Amino acid sequence: QVQLVESGGGSVQAGGSLRLSCAASGYTHSPDCMGWFRQVPGKEREAVAHIFPASGRTRYSDSVKGRFTISLDSTKSTLYLEMNSLEPEDTASYYCVAEANVFGCAWDRLIKFPYRGQGTQVTVSS
């Protein structure tokens, strides 16, 4: 059974940094794409970052581009989200997601990828 377990969330002041980790296990083969989305209670999910492990190709939402970096350590089966220059607007629960089928890897499907972790809270104070 596929499991994604996030860690690394916390509270930080504006301008600070955090690194989120997502440990993946239970795959019969590596996922074709992985990513992160975030959600604030009462608001819709927002896709944040997306990576294709095979090519290393990445994509970011406009709101985090230039500040966040997604990466994957295949040897550790761990996905990361390095978050710099954090802003209060980045406060949300962050979820790690994965898709095993490349045909389901479109950016606009990220928030509905079939495998999802339990989330980790990020709080940025001004």
Interval 79-97: pLDDT, tens: 999 999 999 999 999 999 9
- Are the CB atoms for 106 and 96 separated by under 8 Å? no
| 17-74 residue pLDDT tens | 999 999 999 988 888 999 999 999 999 999 999 999 999 999 999 999 999 999 999 8
8 A C-beta contact, residue 45 and residue 110 = no
Going from the C-alpha of 107 to that of each of 16, 48, 102, the distances in angstroms are 27, 10, 11
Amino acid identity for residue 118 in this structure: Q
Can you list the positions of beta strands (E) in the chain?
3-7, 10-13, 18-25, 33-39, 46-51, 58-60, 68-73, 78-83, 92-99, 115-116, 120-125
**Bridging pattern class, strands 120-125 and 92-99:** antiparallel
Say whether pLDDT at 2 is over 90. Answer: no
Whole-angstrom distance, CA of residue 24 vs CA of residue 4? 5
